[in-house]
Structure 1
Amino acid sequence: MSAAPPKVLLYHPMLARFEPALAAEGWGVAKAWDLDDGDRAAVRAMAHAGDIPLPREFLQSLPNLGLIACVGAGYDGVDVAWCRARGIEVTNAAGLNADDVADQAIGLMIAGWRGIVAGDRAIREGLWRENHRNPASSSLTGRRFGVVGLGAIGEASAHRARAFGLEVAWWGPRPKPAPWPRRESLLDLAAWSDILLVASRANADNRGLISREVIEAVGPDGMIVNVARGSLIDEDALIAALKAGDLGHAGLDVFAEEPTPAQRWADVPNVVLTPHIGSTTHETVPRLVARTIENLRLFFSGRPVAHPVPAET
């Protein structure tokens, strides 16, 4: 009798759509939200949305787990050091979504800065009259575009910003070669910037990185755009600053809690919101799935995975 195929665990319902691709490889599929205790020993690998926290107690209940394959670039929900100390490798799909997420960042910037969403709403609500138009917005040309975290997404966004005539600078915790200057500190970058883009990788050490002080440094004429992780911003402080006029605009594709409650934003002015769709395109999603399948194939064949996440430094 042939051995049963190894099982790949889908940890979150948002990954259920990947089940046919896994089954096509001949692997069994288990679902964390409907997991039979008898299947736990059969689970050898996991497909995971990397921003969702993985409790250690749950991982310890899977005695033969050897790989956590994060479908996207992020893996902030995974304690990589803890996993590797227990023989569980962690992979991701870094770089594959950078262009699409950068497009989302620039789209949020333009939509918020030029009042595009507000203008759309005004027309739909019948507020456009012959003797009335929305207040004038400011030109983007010549504005200062600060990037927090110059990884693949930050760099792709910076190139796009330059094409729109913006001046670019950046800050990250470690210097690196770049065609744009690195400011001395995050606070210095925030004070310099008209638009501050948050593109940093999230981890346990930078939760709330964009603090009240940073938000106020961007100021009443400035804008904050976040396409990284909601945990990077003090969201309560951001909302308070928008309501008080201490921050001019915001554009958010990620939130502290996802899905974010609609009522949380009902009376927040000058903010453009999208539901974490930066990398969700017809072109990028298949590439992310293919990268995940590649790492699973290598793992199940006993070979080194191709895309392990970097060791923490």
Structure 2
Amino acid sequence: MKEHLLLLVPIAAEHKQLLLAQFHVIEAIDPASRAAALAAHAGSIELVLTNGSVGFTATEIAALPHLKLLAAQGAGYENLDVAAAQARGVLVCNGAGTNDDCVADHALTLLLASVRALPQQGAALRAGVWRDALPLYPDFGGRRLGIIGLGAIGLKIARRAAAFGMVIGYHNRRPRDDAGDAAYFDSALALAGWADDLVVATPGGAGTQHIVDATVLAALGEGGHVVNIARGSCVDTAALAAALQAGRIAGAALDVYEGEPRPPQALVDLPNVILTPHVAGWSPQAIRATVACFIANVEAWRRGEPLPTALSGAASR
């Protein structure tokens, strides 16, 4: 018998078919339909698929008496009330690892585009300016890349950057044994003082709120570029805008930002900023993998087995 699944995130039709084959899908991807779905189907919903940005609250969890499993589509789960779910005995999982390669690819793309000033050079060409009148922009060989958050995605970014000849440093809560030749720094400030460029790949949350602030940006210096594919809260937007406008850093490329999905108004008109709409982890392959991961977790629950991507400390069946 198919379980009732509350789907809170938009999914392309081809991937939604994978869910429709397994579940009775109740789709509610805006606040009004979400409230209506909870009111109409509270007694039958057993599964919820959301993501870190959309989340799921303790009040909503309490409203579903038969909820068995709460899942985040991607790796992030910052707006899911995991504690409330676990207190109810609800299993909680995410899509860890399903889009790591896609995010790492996007991060390197943003870094390349920012350091090589691809948008600015394209705009100059369209305005009739040829290369002889343009500044020279650096290549990657020997450039020092600081990665804030050397988790699974951070490691993939490091390996891609190393293939371009970059020298890697990183800041984590603690050093990693598998970081190879990458240098460890015990603070984001120390890392920024060493690095030419910074990529933010750390989890969101209170512990990393504005980990890249005015002090870190000043330490990075006027030739530096900042890439954020983590969470918008990790970078102080006002401080970043001020540093860019004053020429204290060279550029920024962000896939995430504070206040999304609204564009960051302090940054949108700056010529040395690249913005993408939180799509670093989105590709046909990655989205299909997240759906397949969710289904694998549900199938494990059905068999009474541990979930493949259970969050730490999650309740058992």
Same fold by TM-score greater than 0.5: yes
State the distance in 2 between where 1:111 and 1:32 align. 33
State the distance in 1 between where 2:93 and 2:169 align. 31
Return the letter of the residue paired with 1:128.
V
Any conservation in 2 of the 1:50–1:72 contact (CA below 8 Å)?
yes
Is 2:163 the counterpart of 1:148?
A: no
- 1:16 CA displacement: 6.9
Is 2:28 the counterpart of 1:31?
A: yes
| TM-score, normalised with respect to structure 1 | 0.90
Any conservation in 2 of the 1:30–1:39 contact (CA below 8 Å)?
no
Gaps of 5+ in 1: none
Any conservation in 2 of the 1:30–1:43 contact (CA below 8 Å)?
no
RMSD: 2.1
Return the letter of the residue paired with 1:307.
T
State the distance in 2 between where 1:44 and 1:114 align. 49
- 1:271 CA displacement: 1.2
Q: Specify the alignment match of 1:266 in structure 2.
A: 268
Helix, strand or coil at the partner of 2:47: strand
Q: Specify the alignment match of 2:52 in structure 1.
A: 50
Any conservation in 1 of the 2:5–2:23 contact (CA below 8 Å)?
no
State the distance in 2 between where 1:135 and 1:76 align. 42
Q: Specify the alignment match of 1:171 in structure 2.
A: 171
- 1:223 CA displacement: 0.9
Q: Specify the alignment match of 1:7 in structure 2.
A: 4
Q: 1:195 to 1:306 in 2, by over 3 A?
A: same
The farther-off stretch of 190-199 and 33-42 is 33-42
Q: Specify the alignment match of 2:162 in structure 1.
A: 162
Any conservation in 2 of the 1:5–1:28 contact (CA below 8 Å)?
no
Q: 1:254 aligns with which of 239, 252, 256?
A: 256
Q: 1:30 to 1:238 in 2, by over 3 A?
A: same
Q: Specify the alignment match of 1:275 in structure 2.
A: 277
Q: 1:204 to 1:184 in 2, by over 3 A?
A: closer
Q: Specify the alignment match of 1:137 in structure 2.
A: 137
Structure 1 residues 49-105: Cα deviation after superposition (integer angstroms, max 9, x where no partner): 123343322222222222111111111122323321221221112122122111111
What stretches of structure 1 move > 6 A for 4+ residues in a row? none
State the distance in 2 between where 1:145 and 1:63 align. 49
Helix, strand or coil at the partner of 1:283: helix
Matches within 5 A, 1:61-80: 61-80=63-82
Structure 1 residues 10-41: Cα deviation after superposition (integer angstroms, max 9, x where no partner): 124x2474543222114343426423423111
- 1:44 CA displacement: 0.8
Q: 1:256 to 1:277 in 2, by over 3 A?
A: same
Q: 1:215 to 1:53 in 2, by over 3 A?
A: farther
Any conservation in 2 of the 1:146–1:169 contact (CA below 8 Å)?
yes
State the distance in 2 between where 1:38 and 1:139 align. 57
Identity %: 35
Q: Specify the alignment match of 1:238 in structure 2.
A: 240
